[in-house]
């Protein structure tokens, strides 16, 4: 019998059998079965204890020192709780016996490849942490545990769920429009930051999750009952408030821009290899960078001497594609920063451009079980009789995302000149830098 099975023939998610309890400030008691305990005890998973969930946010909100380790346990807890509800309702009938175990393992391991200091390194072109996770899952100790306790194809199935490419009906619980990862991190982040912005109707959301037949394909997928739409609205507003006030707070983005420039410089000089980034924890990477930082950015981060705003503008005031090269092309952005610094009489590394990576406030594409029994898909057109969540999501996103110029010392920059640069085509920006022509005042 696989680890986690019991004498009644049900998996722990159905019968309540657990091997250990971990006390947690957000969810109180988190029960782990034997397989989860063994996965948690691997060195790869233990590294997450020393990777902060919110990166450099602790420089603004001192309580934000919680780790990816805690978040992973919380996501596992929500997965186990949701799967138990689905089991009790009979929604899991017809699924392969091990689908539940694979989904719980994926929830636990979904951040296993995460870089130090949250998502910042993905903004400078490092491979996505979900891609980094694959070798950690399909080889080594974790792979051996998954194969031994679930089956030989378990590592690939777990990774597919994490990557969002699985054909499992439970895919939406791990990576999707309304996955449990979002619910967990918003709730935990707000709690640890000490802010009232992450208020989500978690119970209502989880109880409204259900397995439905996709109206387009007929395949089983995770969806939500219509009565859960108000709770979905609470998730959208919580995410908006957290982005506006915490994740994209101007001082957090200043620290993040400094960190990106610091690591990007080390990578370009060959002082560190991109393939090694995911092996470090937060402090380990900083110690490694300390040996090769000619810009004193690291000293500024350690002492909280952050760059100040010389310019800022919400994306709502920019055209749709304006400044996207700042978010998408780190090499060009670094070159533009140095060119602008020269124009303004500053040293290399004393001016930083920041435009958070393009994302969506809430990527909604999921089936909804209407009260009349019909299944409709909530997409970009919205749903009649409900707030147009996709449109609202886009508007909130544009008001939370800001273009900023940060400088190490006071400098005067004309607003109209920065706006002109933001709207300049990428090819023109590159040409002006190559020809050493001014980027401002043209």
Domain match, 220 and 328 both: no
Domain match, 324 and 420 both: yes
Residues of the chain with pLDDT under 70: 1-19, 198, 360-364, 379-390, 442
Domain match, 78 and 221 both: yes
Q: Does residue 283 lie within any of the structural domains?
A: no
CA distances from 136 to 70, 109, 120, 356, 359 (A): 19, 10, 21, 28, 26
State residue 16's pLDDT score.
42
Q: Does residue 88 lie within any of the structural domains?
A: yes
User: In the listed set 223, 248, 273, which residue is the last one of a domain according to the structure?
Assistant: 248
Domain match, 48 and 144 both: yes
State residue 198's pLDDT score.
67
Domain match, 187 and 63 both: yes
Q: Does residue 26 lie within any of the structural domains?
A: yes
User: In the listed set 248, 275, 291, which residue is the last one of a domain according to the structure?
Assistant: 248
* Number of domains present in the structure of the chain: 2
Domain match, 75 and 151 both: yes
Domain match, 340 and 241 both: no
The CATH number for 142's domain is 1.10.3210.10
User: In the listed set 228, 248, 268, which residue is the last one of a domain according to the structure?
Assistant: 248
Domain match, 51 and 138 both: yes
80-106 burial, b at 16+ Cβ within 10 Å, e below that, comes to bbbbbebbeeebbeebeebbbbbbbbb
Q: Does residue 333 lie within any of the structural domains?
A: yes
The tens digit of pLDDT for each residue in 378-395 reads 765 555 545 566 677 777
- Neighbouring residues of 247: CB distance < 8 A, sequence distance ≥ 6: 54, 57
State residue 331's pLDDT score.
92
Domain match, 231 and 311 both: no
Q: Does residue 265 lie within any of the structural domains?
A: no
Q: Does residue 256 lie within any of the structural domains?
A: no
Domain match, 25 and 96 both: yes
Domain match, 351 and 419 both: yes
Query: Which domain covers residue 164, as residue numbers?
Result: 12-248
Q: Does residue 71 lie within any of the structural domains?
A: yes
State residue 362's pLDDT score.
60
Domain match, 169 and 314 both: no
Q: Does residue 253 lie within any of the structural domains?
A: no
């Amino acid at each position: 019998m696989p680890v986690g099975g019991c004498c009644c023939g049900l998996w722990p998610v159905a019968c309540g059998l657990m091997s250990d309890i971990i006390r947690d400030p957000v969810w109180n008691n988190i029960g782990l079965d034997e397989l989860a305990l063994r996965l948690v005890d691997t060195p790869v998973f233990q590294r997450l204890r020393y990777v902060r969930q919110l990166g450099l946010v602790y420089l603004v909100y001192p309580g934000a020192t919680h780790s990816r380790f805690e978040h992973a346990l919380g996501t596992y807890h929500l997965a186990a709780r949701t799967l138990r509800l689905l089991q009790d309702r009979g929604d899991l009938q017809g699924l392969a016996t091990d689908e539940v175990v694979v989904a719980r393992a994926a929830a636990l391991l979904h951040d296993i490849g995460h870089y130090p200091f949250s998502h910042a390194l993905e903004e400078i072109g490092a491979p996505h942490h979900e891609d980094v996770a694959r070798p950690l899952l399909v080889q080594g100790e974790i792979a051996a545990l998954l194969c031994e306790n679930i089956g030989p194809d378990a590592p690939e199935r777990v990774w597919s769920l994490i990557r969002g490419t699985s054909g499992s009906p439970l895919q939406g619980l791990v990576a999707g429009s309304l996955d449990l990862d979002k619910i967990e991190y918003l709730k935990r982040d707000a709690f640890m930051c000490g802010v009232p912005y992450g208020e989500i109707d978690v119970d209502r959301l989880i109880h409204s999750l259900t397995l439905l037949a996709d109206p387009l394909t007929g395949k089983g997928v995770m969806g939500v009952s219509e009565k859960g739409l108000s709770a979905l609205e609470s998730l959208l507003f919580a995410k908006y408030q957290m982005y506006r006030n915490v994740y994209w707070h101007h001082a957090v983005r200043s620290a993040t821009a400094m960190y990106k420039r610091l690591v990007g410089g080390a990578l370009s000089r060959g002082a560190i290899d991109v393939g090694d980034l995911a092996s470090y924890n937060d402090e380990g990477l900083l110690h490694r960078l300390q040996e090769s930082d000619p810009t004193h950015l690291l000293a500024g981060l350690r002492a909280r001497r952050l760059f100040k705003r010389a310019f800022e503008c919400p994306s709502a005031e920019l055209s749709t594609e304006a400044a996207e090269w700042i978010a998408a092309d780190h090499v060009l952005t670094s070159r533009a920063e140095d060119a602008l610094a020269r124009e303004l009489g500053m040293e290399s590394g004393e001016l930083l451009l920041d435009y958070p990576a393009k994302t969506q406030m809430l990527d909604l594409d999921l089936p909804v079980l209407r009260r009349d029994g019909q299944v409709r898909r909530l997409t970009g057109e919205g749903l009649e009789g409900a707030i147009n969540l996709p449109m609202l999501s886009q508007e909130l996103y544009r008001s939370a995302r800001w273009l900023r110029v940060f400088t190490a010392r006071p400098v005067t920059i004309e607003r109209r000149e920065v706006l002109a640069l933001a709207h300049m085509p990428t090819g023109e920006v590159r040409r002006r830098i190559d020809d050493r022509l001014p980027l401002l005042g043209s």
